[in-house]
Structure formats: C-alpha cells, structure tokens
Amino acid sequence: MSIKANTARAKPLAEDVFASDVLSGLSAPRKSLAPKYFYDERGSQLFEQITELKEYYPTRCELAILREHKADIAGVFGAKTALVEFGTGSTREVRIVLEAAKTVEAYVPVDISAEMLRLEAAQLQHDWPRLRVLPVVADFTQPFRLPSAIVGLARSGFFPGSTIGNFEPHDAAAFLRHAGRMLGSRATLVVGVDLVKDAGVLNAAYDDADGVTAQFNLNLLARINRELSADFDLDAFSHRAFYNSERRRIEMHLVSARRQQVHIGGRAIEFAAGETIHTENSYKYTIESFGLLAQSAGWTPLTSWTDGYFLVQALAKRA
Ligand code: AVI
C-alpha cells in the first residue's frame, strides 16, 4: 500500500514565522527562543544522540516501561480503535505498544515534518501490513483534520517522549484539552511524563559530560546563522542547564560570554556579558501533579506505570 499524507497548508511561510519568532524572542527584555526550533536536521540527529547518553534516562526508562507493560497499556485502547499519535518523531515507542495492541485497526501518526513522517509511516506500514497507516502532516498542537477512513472507529491517543514537559503547564493543559476535542467522547490517551527526582540526576541528564546537549543547544544559533543570515559567534555563547526546584523544571539557556552585538536580517541585537537566551523548559511532574493537570483538562487518570523515574499514564476522557 502506498502512503499519502494529508497535508495541512502552512500560511504564512514557515521561514517567515521562524524569522519573526526569533526576532521577537531576542528583542524581549528576557531573551528566549522556542524549543521547537531545535529540531532541524542536525538538531534531530543530536537529539537522537542525547537519547543514547548514559546520563539521559527518560528515553531508556520510557522504553523499558512500555516493553514491560505493553499488554496492559494496549488494554487501554478499546475495541476497533484508531490510535492517533501526536507529534510522531520516530515510531520507536508506538511499535512496542502495537505489538500487543490487537484492537488497533488504524494508526494515525501526526507530525509537522512531512519527510520524516512519510518515511516512518511507510516503514511501519511495511512491518504491519494489516494495519491502516494514515499519516497526517500537521502541527499537532492545533486543530487538524483526521482521516475520513477512521470514521466509525473508537479513538485513542498516544503522546510518548515526555514532550508534554516542554510545554508551560497552562499550555500542557491546553494541549490535553485539545487532544480531548480531537479524539472525542469516550477516548483514552496514554502519555509519557518525566518525574520529579534528585536534582543531581536531572542536572546531569541535561548537561552531559560529552557535551552533546551543549551542542544541541548551540545548534539553535548555528541554525539562525544559516537560515536567517545572522552572525552569532558560537564560541561566544555557552550552554547552561539547571534544575529549578521551585518551578519543578529544567531550564536550558545560552549564556553570552561577553558584551556583544549580533546581527539578524538587518537588525542588531545587544547582549550584555552573562546575559542569557532561555531556550527550553522541561517540566517534571509527580504522579499526583500530572493527575491534577489532566483532570483540569477534562481527563480522568486511569493506570500509572512507573519505575520511579518516568511515568506512563493512561487517561480516560470525562464525558
Ligand atoms: C524532547 N524533550 C522531551 C526533551 C526533554 O527532555 O525535555 C528535549 C531535551 N532537551 C535537552 N535534552 C533533551
């Protein structure tokens, strides 16, 4: 079967949105850049390397939980279900669940990155010839059209990878509400969530000894140089990551080593020595705090699977 993706039209052009997001983020009194821009080709490769670092436990822990509990997790999906995966980078996680999910008749991976989605979907279709694989190219945080081929099927959602932690808590709640609207009544949702833990473990996971996370963070400046003809001196910025225990989040920043000026598309941006660009938050939850967040967004917590480091949480949509 050949796979065609449902393509949502992007307006205005993605490059224009990138340029205006970068300029407004760097013109604010507290400079920031959105973490979604980490993932150009090099950034995606670096993220894959991060997931294999000994210090970066989330991916390893989540995969182990999925493997150990795949039959129970698959049991959350009802009879004759379409499984919608929000933001499918790789299909590594869903493959584990699909091995046990006999009731899933259609799989709908949703991602903004058309090429990666096409490749992953085609490979998965090859490996699961009887499953209907129906990729949708879209920003999964915004309303999108689900394939008409899933009409009549029950709907379940899958959101692994602790991506929910990269949303501000009110945006995480908004996303969960949006997922509920997309999936409809009687839906279930399985979410991967990173847990609050010892600050030393968290700090090491985001500031690894080999400097891969530092490269990942700095690559954002390389991307801006390349795509927006900017002149960031990458040697004049350094990676800083730390656990903010009050706000229960890892913060990543790029720190300016000196007073300097950077030019982007004809605009000059001033940096003081030690000034930072805040590039990412990665929120950590407890089982209780995530349960409360989900409840505030119209979901009832069902089973929690955890190893103490990471949580795979099943949710049921409240009627
Ligand atoms: C993609 N996301 C869940 C990662 C995280 O752990 O917040 C991104 C990341 N940033 C640095 N290391 C990994």
pLDDT, tens only, 121-132: 999 999 999 999
> 28-48 b/e with 16+ CB inside 10 Å = b?
eeebbbebebbbbeebbebbe
Q: Tell me the per-residue pLDDT of 72-114, one tens digit each, with 9 for 90 and over.
A: 999 999 899 999 999 988 999 999 999 999 999 999 999 998 9
282 CA to centre of ligand 1 in angstroms: 7
Q: Where residue 155 falls among pLDDT bands split at 50, 70, 90?
A: very high
164 CA to centre of ligand 1 in angstroms: 10
In order, the DSSP letters of the chain are -----EEPPP-S-HHHHHHHHHHHHHHSSS-B--GGGG-SHHHHHHHHHHHTSSS-HHHHHHHHHHHHHHHHHHHTS-SSEEEEEES-S-SHHHHHHHHH-TTEEEEEEEES-HHHHHHHHHHHHHHSTTSEE--EES-TTS--PPPGGGTTSEEEEEE-TTGGGGS-HHHHHHHHHHHHHHH-TT-EEEEEEEBP--HHHHHHHTS-TT-HHHHHHHHHHHHHHHHH-----GGGEEEEEEEETTTTEEEEEEEESSSEEEEETTEEEEE-TT-EEEEEEEE-B-HHHHHHHHHHTTEEEEEEEE-SSEEEEEEEE--
| Nearest CA, atom 2, ligand 1 | 163
**Residue range 222-240: average pLDDT?**
98
Q: Which atom of ligand 1 is nearest to the CA of 58?
A: 6
Task: Provide the pLDDT for residue 314.
Answer: 98
Task: Provide the pLDDT for residue 14.
Answer: 75
Ligand 1 test: best mutation among 168, 280, 284, most atoms within 8 Å of CB? 280
| Nearest CA, atom 3, ligand 1 | 163
Instruction: Report whether pLDDT(268) > 50.
Output: yes
Task: Provide the pLDDT for residue 89.
Answer: 85
Q: Tell me the per-residue pLDDT of 3-34, one tens digit each, with 9 for 90 and over.
A: 555 554 445 677 799 999 999 999 999 999 99
Ligand 1 test: best mutation among 37, 47, 90, 219, most atoms within 8 Å of CB? 47
Q: In the structure, which protein residues have their CB atom closer than 6 angstroms to any atom of ligand 1?
A: 50, 58, 161-163, 165-166, 206, 213, 280, 282
Task: Provide the pLDDT for residue 78.
Answer: 85
As a whole number, the mean pLDDT across the chain is 95
43 CA to centre of ligand 1 in angstroms: 11
User: Percent of the chain, pLDDT > 70?
Assistant: 96
Q: Which atom of ligand 1 is nearest to the CA of 51?
A: 13
| Nearest CA, atom 5, ligand 1 | 282
Ligand 1 test: best mutation among 50, 62, 140, 251, most atoms within 8 Å of CB? 50
Q: Where residue 71 falls among pLDDT bands split at 50, 70, 90?
A: very high
Task: Provide the pLDDT for residue 5.
Answer: 56
Instruction: Report whether pLDDT(181) > 60.
Output: yes
Q: Cα–Cα distance between 62 and 277 in angstroms, integer? A: 30
Amino acid at 208: D
| Nearest CA, atom 1, ligand 1 | 163
Task: Provide the pLDDT for residue 15.
Answer: 77
